[in-house]
Amino acid sequence: MHLAIFATLIALSRSAAAMCCAGIVLFLIGLWAAKNSIAESRGLDKIVALTNLCFAIPLAVFGAEHLSGARFIMQGIPAYVPWRLFWAYFVGFALLAASLSIATRIAVRWSALLFGVMMFLFVAMLHFPGALADPHNRFPWTIVFREMSFGGAAWVLAGTAMDGGNGAGKRALITVGRLLVALTAIFFGVQHFLHPMALPGVPLPKEMPPWVPARPLIDFITGAALLVAGVCFLLNRKTRIVAACVGAWLLLMVLVIYGPVLIAALADPSPATQVEGLNYFNDTLLFSAVILSLTKPASA
């Protein structure tokens, strides 16, 4: 078994191997940190106990991607920004640090807060201008909402990690985060109905492979779940139970659909295909954690 894993990693490109290793290491660290919470939980609460783990793994994977492919990543940074290679490396190290903090639940109030700020800066500097430049293209807008939901959920995690009961700062972080996640859930839900062959969760260009049965039905169920969740989150009604159910559904999609898609991508000799498969898998894993983050502030 170990030899098979080692052989698989050897066959991967440098970036894909680094991303896989980072994800595996963070999985083990996060699982160890969450083992007591998982053991003590019952029913859907076992899924809720995985929130920090599901949030941390993709950050580690994306951090490794930045460090192993910094010269490629820097091409996406606006030309007016000085020291672009430095910032590519800086973001990589920041993502790794945030992933360790969130997985181990150490200083989450600061790591999640700063990660959220970083996401909003990315939206303001990169993604929103790109969406405005091509306003009829749904994919740049999908990325805008995706990044806002990542930042919003991080602020929810930061708010729930703060001491001091229901302080104004804590309430503000949780409320802003909840609203951003709600708007994203509604936007993604509508996209699932308009494009019922896309991979479920984050509606980007890649479609579900032909071997998936009832592909439109899966997208309709996912879209309906996200629409209901978005409305509940906006109104702050039944937030915890709805977030737990929808988050569990998205995690199921990650396992049964994105898992095989990832395996097929890693088996492809093209480095670009390997990295794409890892990005799709971890994007949706992180989005499931975004939804699950709203299970935490039940009393906020």
Residue spans of the domains in the chain: they are 2-295
Specify the 3-state DSSP secondary structure of 209.
coil
Phi, psi of 275 (to 5 degrees): -70, -40
- Write the DSSP assignment of 89-142 as a string of letters: HHHHHHHHHHHHHHHHTSSHHHHHHHHHHHHHHHIIIIIHHHHHHSTT-HHHHH
pLDDT at 296: 74
The string of pLDDT tens digits covering residues 17-55 is 999 999 999 999 999 999 999 999 888 889 999 999 999
Q: Which of the four pLDDT bands, split at 50, 70 and 90, describes residue 11?
A: low
Q: Interhelix angle for 259-267 vs 271-292, to 10°? A: 160
Q: Which of the four pLDDT bands, split at 50, 70 and 90, describes residue 298?
A: very low
HSE (side-chain half, CA atoms, 13 Å) at 74 = 16
Indicate if the pLDDT at residue 121 is higher than 90.
yes
Provide the token pair at 2: 């170990």
Indicate if the pLDDT at residue 56 is higher than 60.
yes
Phi, psi of 26 (to 5 degrees): -70, -35
Cα–Cα distance between 281 and 283 in angstroms, integer?
Answer: 6
Beta carbons of 291 and 29 less than 8 angstroms apart: no
pLDDT at 129: 93
Provide the token pair at 173: 């972080």
As a whole number of Å, the end-to-end CA separation of the chain is: 46
pLDDT at 28: 97
Indicate if the pLDDT at residue 1 is higher than 50.
no
